[in-house]
Amino acid sequence: MEIWIEKYRPVKLSDIYGQDEVVSRLESFVKEKQLPHLIFAGPAGVGKTSAAIALTRELLGENWRDSFLELNASDERGIDIIRENVKEFARIKPFNDLGLRIIFLDEADQLTSDAQAALRRTMERFSATTRFIFSCNYSTQIIPPIQSRAVVMRFHQLSDDDLKSYLKFVISKENMTLDEDALDAICEVSSGDARKATSILQTLKYSGEKSPKAIFEMSGNLEPADFEKIVKLAMEGLFDEAVDLIEKLTVDRGYSAIDLIKGMHSFIRRQRIGQKQKLAIIEALAEAEFRLVEGGSDRVQLDALMAKLSWIGQELN
């Protein structure tokens, strides 16, 4: 078994779908054998990581792996760990003609501005032989001093046409047959995210399903039924049971409060309930998420949310 998002990850820059402008600029860096620091800005699943890997491969040749370091800002907690990793990596002599190392810092927008400022020093220290590629959703989340030292590349959300031609490529490689309706359905539920679309495709192959209905259901099942249960319990006024279930999900299964709110949100959007009630619930979810981001704790904020949902369920019909 292979994971298709890796199996069909573009190898060359020219294999990347739907990012012609970015690709041609990156190719010119390869041609000139020169590389500035880069910022890759754009939504998830449009080719930022693929572009970084392909660029490195084309620029540094066969030994590219030894000179490429991939770091995740949201996982490698703390700037210290990132700095340590960078320092460690910078000690290795780059084995390629250009004498370059490339550090790909994924989700760089997850770093606080203080951490980014600290990273800037590290960047300068190793800049003779090391290039950074920062990946983020919006370039504005990267502090100006780093932005000014880097070239910003904007990746666009994949159009349905681009996504479809990529999917068709995978389908032919895998000897699958899929109706145009099914392709449309995949495009609709994955909204330009090739990673999500590829995962759906692989699930279809393994499960033998291929109807649009199955695809919509699958996307509906992206969240476990538990989210639905939480909302339903709370709306029926069963506060204690809802809170117990939440505790089970957070404590035993390790979901964060934001995970749960996100799941409830996508459940409630698809529910056929009164418009007023729907709005009130979405507002309550938004407020809870806002408060969590502001510094509230998972426990208290989810309990408060459950109290609100059970009131909405009983008062607003």
Q: Which of 1, 180, 272, 275 lies at the binding interface for other proteins (CB under 8 A)? A: 1
Residues 75-104 that bind other proteins (CB under 8 A): 75, 80
Under rule CB under 8 A, residue 300 binds other proteins = yes
Under rule CB under 8 A, residue 44 binds other proteins = yes
d(C-alpha 77, C-alpha 125), whole Å: 21
Which tokens sit at 39?
């910022």
Under rule CB under 8 A, residue 141 binds other proteins = no
- Whether residue 286 contacts residue 262, with contact meaning beta carbons closer than 8 Å, is answered with no
Under rule CB under 8 A, residue 174 binds other proteins = no
Q: Which of 66, 223, 236, 241 lies at the binding interface for other proteins (CB under 8 A)? A: 223
Under rule CB under 8 A, residue 236 binds other proteins = no
Q: Which amino acid is at 67?
A: S
Quote the least distance from Cβ 213 to other proteins, whole Å.
Answer: 16
Which tokens sit at 286?
């938004």
Under rule CB under 8 A, residue 70 binds other proteins = yes
Under rule CB under 8 A, residue 202 binds other proteins = yes
Q: Which of 35, 106, 170, 175 lies at the binding interface for other proteins (CB under 8 A)? A: 106
- Whether residue 51 contacts residue 26, with contact meaning beta carbons closer than 8 Å, is answered with yes
CA 60 → CA 29, 53, 75, 114, 150, distances in Å?
12, 10, 27, 32, 20
Quote the least distance from Cβ 33 to other proteins, whole Å.
Answer: 25
Residue 22's nearest CA partner among 158, 143, 126, 141 is 158
Under rule CB under 8 A, residue 252 binds other proteins = yes
Quote the least distance from Cβ 97 to other proteins, whole Å.
Answer: 25
Residues in binding contact with other proteins, number by CB under 8 A:
59
Q: What is the strand order of the sheet 37-41 is part of?
A: 68-72, 101-106, 130-136, 37-41, 150-154
Q: Which of 23, 39, 53, 153 lies at the binding interface for other proteins (CB under 8 A)? A: 53
Quote the least distance from Cβ 2 to other proteins, whole Å.
Answer: 8
Under rule CB under 8 A, residue 317 binds other proteins = no
d(C-alpha 317, C-alpha 315), whole Å: 6
Q: Which of 174, 214, 299, 316 lies at the binding interface for other proteins (CB under 8 A)? A: 299
Q: Which of 15, 27, 66, 107 lies at the binding interface for other proteins (CB under 8 A)? A: 107
Contact residues toward other proteins (CB under 8 A) are: 1-3, 5-6, 9, 44, 49, 53, 70, 72-75, 80, 106-107, 110, 195-196, 199-200, 202-203, 206-207, 218, 221-224, 226, 237, 239-240, 243, 247, 250-254, 259, 291, 294-297, 299-301, 303-304, 307-308, 310-311, 314-315
